[in-house]
Amino acid sequence: MCGIFAYTGSKKAIPILVDGLTSLEYRGYDSAGIFTPADGVFKAVGPVVELRKLLPENANGTSGIAHTRWATHGAPTAENAHPHADQNEILYLVHNGIVENYKELKEELLKAGHTFKSQTDTEVLAHLLGVERGTASSMDEALESTLQKVRGTYGLAVIEKAAPSTIYAAAMGSPIAIGVGENEMCIGSDATAILRVTKQIIYLEDGEFAKITPQNYEIKTLDRKITTRAPEEIEWDADTIKKNGFDHYMLKEIMEAPEVLENSARGRLLLTEGRANLGGLAEHEKELQNIKRLVIVACGSAYYAGVYGKYLIEEYAGIPVEVAIGSEFRYRAHIPEEGAALLAISQSGETADTLASIKEAKRRGILARGIVNVVGSTIARETDLGVYKHAGPEVGVASTKAFLSQMEVLALLALYLGRQRHLSVERAIELGKAIAELPTQAAEILSKHEEVKVIAEKYKDVRDMLYIGRKYNFAGAYEGALKLKEVSYIHAEGYGAGEMKHGPIAMIDPLFPTLAIVPDDAVFEKTISNIEEIKARKGPVIAIATTGNTQIKELADDVLWIPKAIEPMAAILAIIPMQLLAYYVGVAKGYNVDRPRNLAKSVTVE
Ligand code: G6P
């Protein structure tokens, strides 16, 4: 989720590149860099304004490449910022995506005597391209042979010092487009930057690469067949583009679920072996094997992800798990226990209460691990080891895609810890396959978003709402209610379905609806009984159920369907319709769902 921009023409490149980068900052903003063959390379940590301070006023270059980074490999430092050069600094490259086999490639290059300045997968790509360029007759040929050796995703732009006005781009699973101007051309990872130069745009398809000069563009497939395509005109304004055409970041981020569920598991599932390959844990295998008890600490949505993780880790890895809210954990008396470990979950990696809990645990000599989205964030640095979520930046204050990726990473962790212990290969393979199916299943749910909108319109004026779920869906009930509270200001409560009879059922009447998460699972019949109790008191019921279940259709007033999946994965899928429901209710009530009142995206105070 970084931003790429490149320009070649007759105007001074640096101001154009900076302007383009600024418009891309919403995609990632922990560091930025620019290279122009005429002026050299400039990199800075932080937003583009920091980079701006380093740039020469008398720059002359009329072509260059630029990048704004959201770290995935290596902390956000100037060394890790793009562009990266090859060993002999004959070419510079900017890259979005993840090179899955970068470690193998890097080892081979190290053996051949290469030295690396950064910890990034991108620098490995630059070096590899440099090697191929040395023996190839053209850059086309070098790019072709390099990209054939790469596994993973990329959107990239490359410039060679020896041919300063020519820029190459390639795309595979990460968007790249070309902007076609009058005697100037550009390349962007999305249209926002391109719009600064021209409205004429051509998107590259996966497996295509392009060559641009100020006067020409050429698009080829990786086997170098030329494809001809005329540019289209960009119709959106910059703000709409940032939201990818959606009205709000929240909807855009909900709609990104398939991509996020793909990215968080990318390269991490060894399906045939039934194992999870979590790079950040590999060096600590022994310590992880010795864990006897796990304390998960988190706040807000991340806490609910932790509650979900408890069920998973206990079932699949057999490790007792306690889940604590960050602001409570630090004030409790801690009974020292051998084999205890702490797991912090945080999207931002900056939440003060979670951070304080980590510090407290470390002071007591407990191993601290993290599941964090923002690479290089304070929590990522404070924990001894961890797993990044690779969910990309989340702009909407109410967490949506980051929450889903937290759940998925917890499933990967349960698989990892389970296989270190008693988990059978068969069950591990079953779980692994179910994780791999999530992106397609998420896309299927999202394709029916209009149905959720209709239900949202129907219930938008209620004063209160109850969310119930059991076992793997217990946490989901709380998260669903939290989402509705956050963006629609409707009073919503999450509850364990079995607890209804101990209090909440007293509130039920025809004006008090309940959302019941009731997929086909081990507690289906039990939850059905709870729904029957609600219906007997004339309470309206919206159910989230497995496609094809006829029993629920008879019972509930409205049903949101999710595809059939094993219990823990159905719980992940059930989150998506609840996110959509909260979104559509909030919008129907006329609220700014991206910036709910009184809330902050990252709470860095106690
Ligand atoms: C804030 C946000 C929530 C988030 C919580 C924890 O309250 O509004 O969406 O779940 O902080 O944030 P973290 O970054 O630690 O996951």
Omega into 577 within 30° of 0, i.e. cis?
Answer: no
Q: How far apart are CA 396 and CA 254, in angstroms?
A: 10
Q: Is 112 in the pocket of ligand 1 (CB under 6 A)?
A: no
Spatial separation of the C-alpha atoms in residues 406 and 476, rounded to whole Å: 13
Given this model, what pLDDT does residue 76 score?
87
Q: How far is the CA of 599 from the centre of ligand 1 (A)?
A: 9
Q: Specify the ligand 1 atom closest to the Cα of 298.
A: 15
Q: Is 601 a catalytic residue?
A: yes
The angle that helices 401-420 and 257-265 make with each other, rounded to 10 degrees, is: 30
Distance 606 CA to ligand 1 centre (A): 13
pLDDT the model gives residue 27: 66
Q: Is 271 in the pocket of ligand 1 (CB under 6 A)?
A: no
Nearest-CA residue for atom 4 of ligand 1: 300
- DSSP secondary structure, 443-492, as one string: HHHHTTHHHHHHHHHHHTT-SEEEEEE-GGGHHHHHHHHHHHHHHH--EE
Q: How far apart are CA 305 and CA 315, in angstroms?
A: 16
Question: What pTM does this model have?
Answer: 0.79
Q: Using the mean position of ligand 1's atoms as its centre, give its distance from the Cα of residue 240 in Å.
A: 26
Determine the residue of 603, 604, 605 to mutate for testing ligand 1's pocket, defined as the one with the most ligand atoms within 8 A of the Cβ atom: 603
Quick check: is 2 catalytic?
A: yes
Return the residue whose CA atom lies nearest to atom 7 of ligand 1: 300
At residue 336, the pLDDT reads 64
- Specify the pLDDT at position 606: 63
- Mean per-residue pLDDT pooled into runs of 10, the chain (606 residues): 90 95 77 96 92 92 93 84 96 92 95 95 97 95 94 94 97 91 94 89 92 96 85 80 87 96 92 90 89 95 98 97 92 78 91 90 86 80 84 87 96 96 96 98 98 98 97 98 98 95 93 98 95 95 97 95 98 98 98 88 72
pLDDT number for residue 28: 61
Ligand 1 center to 260 CA (angstroms): 18
Scanning the structure block, which residue is given the tokens 């050069």? 85
